[in-house]
Copies of this chain bind each other. A is one copy, B any other.
Amino acid sequence: MTSALAGADIGATLTRLRQSTPLVHSITNYVAMNPAANVLLALGASPAMVHAAEEAAEFAALADALVINIGTLSAPWVDAMLSAAESAQQQQTPWVLDPVAIGATRFRRDACARLLEFSPTIIRGNASEIIALAGDALGGRGVDSTATSDDALTAAVALARRQQAVVAVTGEVDLVTDGQRCVRIAGGHALMPRVTALGCALSGVIAAFAACEEDPLLATACALTCYAEAGAQAGQTAPGPGSFAVAFIDALHQLSADALANRTPLEISTLP
């Protein structure tokens, strides 16, 4: 059984996001902070990076969405992440977990296990990360994925069902599932993985959409579609990753509901 998500609906969600400028509380890694803020501003959301244990819960309660990314983890940050996640869960604020390089060290696996207790609304990672988080043995050597999105389908569905969360596996083709339904989003550009932290910034974009669309599967599909569309636009002229990063921010800023309306509808299939 399948249904569809029309480009016009994605465009309407983007318009709603720009009108409401959701405040996205971002506890993300040092590499990603600057591009993640610029990506959210270009899209039309309002980023805020707040990570002290003394204020993370208080700030999370003010925000429209929360994203937690473990890229450059340390013990004091884990405390703040847990406190913010708990606050988001209590407030029913949607929150996104980005388990960067979870396969690499025990410290990361332990931190993610504790974060999962606060029920992230959406989990986004590359195939290696999602497989590692689901408990499989593949792991990953660092932040780059060494498995494809399809390898991760089984892991993603299992993780989504166990956590009652939406799981997004991003790569050449993105895959989103809530354990019952599944959507694939193609597009983007080969230079995207050559620019650091675009994946991390994407997790913030998913959080921004989750503040504007109640169904987290659809919110995630909207975010990934906007990213893929802006990436394809940027890739049309950029000769390398430096100019690609600049053009990508411009493309997110210029992305129109009309351009999205012209896209082929996304097919949402029901899993067996």
Which A residues are within 8 Å of any B CB, using their own CB?
23, 29-35, 37-38, 41-42, 46-55, 58-59, 62-63, 71-76, 101, 104-108, 141-144, 193-197, 238-243, 245-254
Contacts and interface: CB of A to CB of B under 8 A. Distances in A.
26 contacts: A23-B141, A37-B197, A38-B195, A38-B245, A46-B144, A48-B142, A48-B143, A49-B71, A50-B72, A54-B105, A55-B73, A55-B104, A58-B106, A59-B104, A59-B105, A62-B104, A62-B141, A239-B250, A239-B254, A240-B252, A241-B253, A242-B246, A242-B247, A242-B253, A243-B247, A245-B249
Contacts of A37: 31, 196-197
A38 B242 contact: yes
Contacts of A252: 240
Contacts of A251: 240
Given A106-B58, A107-B55, A242 B245 contact: yes
Q: How many copies does the complex hold?
A: 3
Nearest to A76: B74
A264 to B, nearest CB: 26
A38 B32 CA distance: 11
Contacts of A38: 195-196, 241-242, 245
A55 B30 CA distance: 17
A123 to B, nearest CB: 21
Contact of A34 (B55, B196, B243): B196
A95 B239 CA distance: 32
Contact of A250 (B50, B241, B254): B241
B254 A249 contact: no
A34 B253 contact: no
Contacts of A71: 49
A210 to B, nearest CB: 18
A141 B46 CA distance: 10
A49 B34 contact: no
Given A33-B72, A59-B104, 19 more contacts: A30-B30, A34-B196, A38-B241, A38-B245, A41-B193, A46-B143, A50-B72, A50-B104, A52-B75, A54-B74, A54-B107, A55-B104, A55-B107, A62-B104, A63-B142, A239-B254, A240-B250, A243-B247, A245-B246
Contacts of A193: 41
Contacts of A46: 142-144
